[in-house]
A and B are shown apart, each in its own frame.
Chain A
Amino acid sequence: MTVLNAVIQGIMLGGFYALLATGLSLIFGVMRIINLAHGSLAVLGAFLAWWVVDKTGISPFLALIPALVVMFGVGYALQLGMLERSLRSGPLIPLLTTFGLAVVVDNALLGVFTPDVRSLGGPAGKVTIASWAITDQIAVSAIGMLILGVAAAVLLGLHFFLARTGMGRSMRATAQDPDTAELVGVDSRAVYARAVGIATATAALAGFFLAVRAVVEPSSGPTQLIFAFEAVVIGGFGSLWGTLVGGLILGVAQTLGALVDPHYANLGGHLVFLAVLAFRGRGIFEARGVST
């Protein structure tokens, strides 16, 4: 029973990881860049929402809206200002600049907000603590279900965007062949900027939910990056549904690890990640370009 409970909790945790990993997967699928600042941007989004709540007292779910809009803009600007240049200079430079960005964001958050942890769980109200008991040993939390639902909705939305809309088609075309995309009238700069904007906004969304279901602190960035990356690797780079599966597997691995010993939670995830790497060398749904 406790194992079953752990699995169920793991699935809900996995929903969070899937949401967190979506942006990382999208940027890689479209631009072949691993954004080492992804985790830090997620945390930045969380702090932004927290700051709005702190200053205005409105519900976190309302504060989320301006936070998402701003973070989309941050991503857009990031692409045009920094990543675009990095892309042109070879495969090493994007890694170095995004790493530098992570250092800057993490330390800027530290400087502005102090090292104290923050949470949005309180202001979010009942949803943070509500749960439904399925049996006397298994409970499903409202927030867990909400995050899982949001993750599924975001992935579905992204799938629809990519498969059915003009912008999404342009994005898929640019991901496969940016040179030819330009030759048929696609503004590849705008496509990339949109992709990074979307990725950053979804990262911020995940950061927000991290603050709601737990806590965030300025130094949380790197850890979130690692989780996002592990989810993407387990599921396979470039496939959005793979990211979902990877997230779920990571979540379950962590909760099962915690069952062995509470300190081993993260370790469980790391071990599964290393195992996937050892035995497959790549993920479960490896794909070229951005596939849905």
Chain B
Amino acid sequence: MSLLSVEQLDVRHGLLKAVRDVSFSINEGEILALVGANGAGKTTLMRAIAGAHRPAGGRVVLDGRDVTHMSAHKRVRAGLALVPEGRRLFAELTVEENLLVAAASGRSGEWSVGTVMEAFPLLKPLRTKRAATLSGGEQQATAIGRALMTNPRVLLLDEVSLGLAPVAVETVYRSLQTLIEGRSTIVLVEQDLRRALRVAGRVICMLEGKIVLEGSTAELSIEEITEAYFGLKSRQQIGGGSGP
């Protein structure tokens, strides 16, 4: 049985349909990459799965439980954690306090302030620094660490490389290596296609709210994914200019 499954999810922003009839599932230990251009609906989808955005239709099922109508904090307690796009740290709280807030969700497991510090050594000297004073890479590490503090069963990572210098991105992914190798269940939104394919076992490509390509990273070529990413294939099939 899958650990997380999304069934025919419809999510709206006002009148705009940002996510349309999306279905996929992920098993324990899998790493799924979610790719697509800006505005494809990836962040909306992640937020809807995490409970920050109420869907207009469809279901989200976590470990057999229908969590579609559960508030976000309850989903965290059920084992679903999102590292939001843009980090969204609590700016006036220190690094340690940011981590401790997440610990209040009460799930037990291997992650604590100490183990997070081990996984992200760059944070060690920053424990008592206000989050607003950190660099992009340090903030990202803190944000991931914060999500880990909830000892999640499924970790959702939304654009962890956004706005970071290449060196910082390297550092972040190196720290994620332990998670990746350790059979964690991760859904990863990533703009850098090559990196996404290197890290993930499966990939889903979204375009204008729909899934246009899905498959194992071993079998799909980067060209196929790029075509789906830009909707080139579908345009060729329909023939002529697409809509507005």
Chain A residues positioned under 8 Å from B106 (CB to CB): 185
- Known contacts A169-B97, A170-B101, A173-B101; is-contact A183 B82 (Cβ 8 Å): yes
Q: Are B50 and A176 within 8 A (Cβ)?
A: no
Q: Are A183 and B52 within 8 A (Cβ)?
A: yes
Is A54 engaged at the interface, CB distance under 8 Å to the other chain?
no
- Pick from B71, B76, B91, B92: contact of A184, CB under 8 Å: B76
Q: Are B73 and A182 within 8 A (Cβ)?
A: yes
Q: Are B101 and A184 within 8 A (Cβ)?
A: yes
Which of B77, B90, B107, B146 has the most CB atoms of chain A within a 10 A radius of its CB?
B90
Q: How far is the CA of A289 from the CA of B130 in the complex (A)?
A: 14
Q: How far is the CA of A204 from the CA of B171 in the complex (A)?
A: 53
Per the 8 Å Cβ criterion, residues 79-93 of B in contact with A are 81-82, 84, 88-93
- Pick from B88, B97, B100, B103: contact of A180, CB under 8 Å: B88
Per the 8 Å Cβ criterion, residues 179-217 of A in contact with B are 179-188
Q: Are B84 and A183 within 8 A (Cβ)?
A: yes
Chain A residues positioned under 8 Å from B77 (CB to CB): 185
Q: Are B100 and A166 within 8 A (Cβ)?
A: yes
Q: Are A185 and B105 within 8 A (Cβ)?
A: yes
- Pick from A169, A179, A288, A291: contact of B101, CB under 8 Å: A169
Query: Chain B, interface size: which category?
Result: 20 to 34
- Known contacts A181-B101, A182-B51, A182-B52; is-contact A172 B73 (Cβ 8 Å): no
Q: Are A288 and B104 within 8 A (Cβ)?
A: no
Q: Are B104 and A291 within 8 A (Cβ)?
A: no
Q: Shortest beta-carbon distance, B217 to chain A, in Å? A: 28
Q: Are B105 and A184 within 8 A (Cβ)?
A: yes
Is B200 engaged at the interface, CB distance under 8 Å to the other chain?
no
Chain B residues positioned under 8 Å from A166 (CB to CB): 100, 103-104
Q: Are B101 and A186 within 8 A (Cβ)?
A: yes
Is B67 engaged at the interface, CB distance under 8 Å to the other chain?
no
Chain B residues positioned under 8 Å from A188 (CB to CB): 73
Is B45 engaged at the interface, CB distance under 8 Å to the other chain?
no
- CB-CB nearest in chain A for B87: A180
- Pick from A180, A182, A183, A289: contact of B92, CB under 8 Å: A289
Is B154 engaged at the interface, CB distance under 8 Å to the other chain?
no
Which of A166, A173, A181, A183 has the most CB atoms of chain B within a 10 A radius of its CB?
A183
Q: Shortest beta-carbon distance, A197 to chain B, in Å? A: 18
Chain B residues positioned under 8 Å from A169 (CB to CB): 93, 97, 100-101, 104
Q: Are B90 and A177 within 8 A (Cβ)?
A: yes
Chain B residues positioned under 8 Å from A173 (CB to CB): 90, 93, 97-98, 101
Q: Mark A270-292, 1 if CB is under 8 A from B, else 0.
A: 00000000000000000011010
Q: Shortest beta-carbon distance, A163 to chain B, in Å? A: 9
Q: How far is the CA of A256 from the CA of B45 in the complex (A)?
A: 61
Is B72 engaged at the interface, CB distance under 8 Å to the other chain?
yes
- Chain B interfacial positions (CB closer than 8 Å to A): 50-52, 71-73, 76-77, 81-82, 84, 88-93, 97-98, 100-107, 146-147, 149-150
User: Nearest 5 pairs between A and B by C-beta?
Assistant: A185-B105, A185-B76, A182-B72, A184-B102, A180-B88
A-B contact pairs, 22 of them (CB 8 A): A166-B100, A166-B104, A172-B92, A172-B97, A176-B90, A176-B92, A176-B93, A177-B90, A179-B88, A180-B90, A182-B72, A183-B50, A183-B73, A183-B84, A183-B88, A184-B146, A184-B149, A185-B102, A185-B106, A185-B150, A186-B73, A291-B92
Further 17 A-B residue pairs, CB within 8 A, beyond A166-B104, A176-B91:
A166-B103, A169-B93, A172-B90, A172-B93, A173-B90, A173-B93, A173-B97, A181-B90, A183-B50, A183-B72, A183-B73, A184-B105, A184-B147, A185-B102, A185-B150, A186-B105, A289-B92
